[in-house]
A and B are shown apart, each in its own frame.
Chain A
Amino acid sequence: MKNLILTFLLLLTLSIAAQNKYITKTGSVTFEASVPSFEEVKATNKNTTAIINTENGEFAALVLVKGFRFKNALMEEHFNENYADSDEYPKATFKGQISSFSVDDLNNSSQQKQYNGTMTFHGKTKTLSNEALSISKNTDGSLKITGKLKLNVADFDIEIPKIVSNKLSREVDVTFEFLLNKK
């Protein structure tokens, strides 16, 4: 009987733990490294996975690099083969935490929060500190997280050949938008 109660309690805590997670499998991440008056260098990945633990604000995202789609097919090929080496490094990940996060304080007007964490891309890891994001809770209970950040290609050990160096920005603008549903 005691065992039964313990098992029941264990199952109960497990199900509570599971309810604190919000996930999306179709988050959107866009990067742009365009230089004015040259062709747009921009790609979007619409199949990004993101998870947030609403108990402590822990946040993780995973991008499959092959899933970045460019307008220009040749640019997409070059990105995968020469810059991101996506055969060797198929994943880009972020793991971190949103500061002073409380799910109960969220409502449908977006709030600015800061987050810290580490990003891994092209086999290199970079620490991100005090970056900003906005978070809101929709009426259907889902969470919306959006944000922007700037990354340097040099931090991820990506070399830009001389021949295209004036057509590519070394500073890349990254935007993300995740609509997370309770798991």
Chain B
Amino acid sequence: MKKNTIYIILLVLVLTAYFGYNYIYQDHRDISTENADYTINASDFIAEFINDSETAQTKYLNKTIVINGDITAQTNNSITLNNSIFCSLLEYNTISKEITVSIKGRCIGYDDLLEEIKLDQCSLTKINQ
């Protein structure tokens, strides 16, 4: 009887440790596999921010978004869509032409110094040749 109690206490301890560890050291969000909260055209997305940047920022902040737009600038690790959406990429950029793409990323806010919307952890979901 006493032995059983010890086993139960041990089991509870092990389970607490296991779930506790998994809670404290949980994984980061994986934006590239998350379902998008919003799918939107770049021009409509920009229009919402021009109209009211505060409201749009509150709506989209920290959300996973898929944006369809035209590449207007790019670097090794970023793509700019329609001149005003700056997407920081998870992986090195392999595109070197100005084409239409769909990009999935997380909106981190509105940069009013450059009047750009910033997204991080972006990945390309569709490339329209």
Binding site for B on A (CB under 8 A): 23, 25-26, 46-47, 49, 51, 60, 62, 64-67, 72-74, 76, 80, 86-87, 90-91
Q: Which residues does chain A contribute within 8 Å of B1, judged by CB atoms?
A: none
Binding site for A on B (CB under 8 A): 23-29, 57-58, 61-62, 75, 77-78, 86, 88, 106, 108-114, 116, 118, 120
Q: Which residues does chain A contribute within 8 Å of B110, judged by CB atoms?
A: 90
With A26-B88, A62-B112 in contact, do A74 and B29 touch (Cβ < 8 Å)?
A: no
- CB within 8 A of A23: which of B23, B26, B75, B114? B114
Q: How far is the CA of A67 from the CA of B75 in the complex (A)?
A: 19
Q: Which residues does chain A contribute within 8 Å of B62, judged by CB atoms?
A: 66, 80, 86-87
- CB within 8 A of A74: which of B24, B58, B77, B112? B24
Q: Which residues does chain A contribute within 8 Å of B88, judged by CB atoms?
A: 26, 46-47
14 contacts between A and B (CB under 8 A): A25-B78, A25-B111, A25-B114, A26-B75, A26-B77, A47-B88, A47-B118, A47-B120, A51-B114, A64-B111, A66-B61, A76-B28, A86-B61, A90-B61
Question: Are A90 and B57 in contact, CB atoms less than 8 angstroms apart?
Answer: yes
Q: Which residues does chain A contribute within 8 Å of B61, judged by CB atoms?
A: 66, 86-87, 90
For B107, the closest partner residue in chain A by CB is: A66
For B78, the closest partner residue in chain A by CB is: A26
